[in-house]
Amino acid sequence: MKDVTPNSTTPQALVALASRFVDVAAMPWHEPFPGLRMKVLYKDDEAREATILFETQPGYVIPEHVHGGVEWAFLLEGTMEDAEGICTAGNFVMRPAGSRHTVRTPNGAKYIGFFHGSARLVATGSLFPEYGEKAD
């Protein structure tokens, strides 16, 4: 396991069985796209796993993408919706590998995303999250 928490003040070279405590409030937000901010809480390139805190502005749309692995999301604030349904604050949605959708956040959203594998944007082919190597 080779896990990291980018921008964390926690030592990264902890033994495998050591707990990792992350001061999320002290971490800077990263804005990869206007209207979408994120904090990478955990990432393991070898296992292709990531846990990310997201915040979107009202009206933000996550473009159509196909999940190469499973995604789990727990909504803290706002709403996320796609053609299959609406997930509201305090609720949870799981998207299996192979699922394809576009996500809308009409009221904005704050959520924790747990990823095993990457999703591939249909329009560009780019992967998210990116790990040390490209996904299959």
Say which CATH number the domain at 89 has. 2.60.120.10
- Convert the pLDDT of each residue in 28-70 to its tens digit: 999 999 999 999 999 999 999 999 999 999 999 999 999 999 9
The pLDDT score that the predictor gives to residue 3 is: 54
Is residue 27 in some structural domain? no
Please report the DSSP string for 42-93 in residue order: EEETTTTEEEEEEEE-TTEEEEEEEESS-EEEEEEEEEEEETTEEEETT-EE
Q: Which domain holds residue 120?
A: 49-136
For the entire predicted model, the pTM comes to 0.85
Give pLDDT tens digits for 66-90: 999 999 999 999 999 999 999 999 9
User: How confident is the model over 5-31, as pLDDT tens digits?
Assistant: 665 555 556 566 788 889 999 999 999
Is residue 23 assigned to a domain?
Answer: no
19 found inside a domain: no
Classify residue 97: in a domain, yes or no.
Answer: yes
Residue 102 maps to a domain: yes
**Count of structural domains within the chain:** 1
